[in-house]
Amino acid sequence: MGILFLFKYFDFFRASIAAFLIWAGLPADSLTLSIALPVGISYYTFKMISYAVDIYTGKRGAEPHAGYYLVYVLFFPQILAGPIERSESFLGQIRGGLHYDSALFAEGLQRLVLGLFKKMLIANRLSSYVDTVFASPDSYPALAALMALVFYSFQLYCDFSGYSDIVIGMGNLLGIRSRKNFNCPYFARNIKDFWARWHISLSSWLKDYVYIPLGGNRVSKERKVLNVMFTFLASGLWHGNTWNFLVWGGIHGVWNNLNRKRECSDCGVLRMVWQTLLTFLGVTATWVFFRAESIGKAFAYYRRMLFGFSLSLADIQNSILPFTSDNTCAAYFLTVCLFLFLLLLYEWGQVYGRGKLRAGEGAYAEGFSLSNFWLALMAASIVLFGMFGESGFLYAQF
């Protein structure tokens, strides 16, 4: 934790304390550590913490083989952006001896196709539009700001879940089964359900190593509220060392504390759609703090998006223009919408159809498969329309 603090949070806390001292009329030093952040430090630090805590609590014994331990901590597909694997499963597979498993190998190939579809066809196509509008929201209509926010919501999901699918697939090819990290989160019907589906490895880590040690649900209502808030503030701080991430985490903490509704199994279709839409819109609205560089820029973006909104033909044209800055923008926009529709159709089948990727499935997604239709469609789309080398993975910066 000390190493993580030094590399990632020292400048944040120093700058915050200095700003407070200046506000109070006191002298403040200007010490800053201009050092590079080690790749993946947020992820492998959490792996090492969970390993040490599990030994301390008697959940597992210490690993006697240093090489196995280092493979667990520094497993190359996961080092950039997770998932945050647990030691008991990973080391158990390593110690049991890796071998070729044709079924697991086939799962890995299909995971790679799904991940590349999300990343190369959707996330990469949306990145330039989102970057352009967020960089200068006042240069575009309010409609463009709204579209950019919705597109960022899908870009972030497809980028990170696509990365997770690729990583899990690479592990499968090597004979290693990894934890699921996403489970169709935009089909969640309330905020608690969303966090059970989004970045599952981090959410479960925070639950097991922050929320439960604080007392979890086994305390008074007032203490439980504080536990939830502290956990989500920790989640916000983990994602970034600026105040806007703390605001984002605080909003989700308040929202989770206020959420009292549970899903009903026999709700009508309209009610299910309404609950899903409201949850998606609420989550998307909070992404402004996640994407903006500061709290001030986040509120400026909200102002641009909410005030002076109009829906003229000129506004629509100027809102689509940032895709390519020329007359091909409409075709580009329709192409992105088509691939988004296909992804949502696929995930709807996983949640409500007869697909194998369901909410009640185990943590390691045993038996994952794409139907022949989806496998052929996604693979052909990647080859014909994939945008390779356009951008890195968003979560690598966290």
Residues catalogued as catalytic: 239
* CA nearest neighbour of 188 among 199, 180, 196, 200: 196
Residue type, 211: Y
- For residue 246, the Cα-to-chain-centroid distance in whole angstroms is 16
**How many Cα atoms occupy the beta-carbon half-sphere of 177 within 13 Å?**
21
Do 216 and 227 contact (CB within 8 A), yes or no?
A: yes
- Short-list 343, 336, 342, CA closest to 322: 336
Residue 163 burial (10 A CB sphere; 0-12, 13-18, 19+):
buried
Cα–Cα nearest to 125, from 145, 154, 149: 154
257's tokens: 């504390």
What is the Rg, in whole angstroms, of the alpha carbon atoms belonging to the chain?
22
**End-to-end Cα spacing for the chain:** 15
How many C-beta atoms lie closer than 10 Å to residue 164's C-beta? 28
Cβ-contact 170, 108 below 8 angstroms: yes
Tell me if the bond preceding 137 is cis, omega within 30° of 0: no
Q: How far is the C-alpha of 182 from the C-alpha of 394, rounded, in Å?
A: 16
* CB neighbour class for 265 (10 Å; exposed up to 12, middle 13-18, buried from 19): exposed
Tokens of 297: 């820029």
Which two three-digit tokens encode residue 292? 């903006």
Assigned token pair, 335: 């192409």
